[in-house]
Amino acid sequence: MKKLILHSILALTLTGAAFGQPGGGPGGPPGEDPCKTERQTYCKDSRHGHESDRCLREYISKLSETCKNHVNEMMSRFEKFRSACAADEEKYCKNVERGPAHMRCMRENESKLSASCKAALPPPPPGNRM
Domain ranges of the chain: 35-120
| Alpha-carbon dihedral 61, 67, 68, 73, rounded to 10 degrees | -160
Per residue in 55-96, pLDDT tens? 898 999 999 999 999 988 888 888 898 899 999 999 999 999
Range of lowest pLDDT (22-26, 50-54, 97-101, 109-113)? 22-26
Per residue in 30-52, pLDDT tens? 568 899 999 999 999 988 777 88
Q: How far apart are CA 108 and CA 24, in angstroms?
A: 25
> Helix axis angle, 65-92 relative to 50-58, nearest 10°?
130
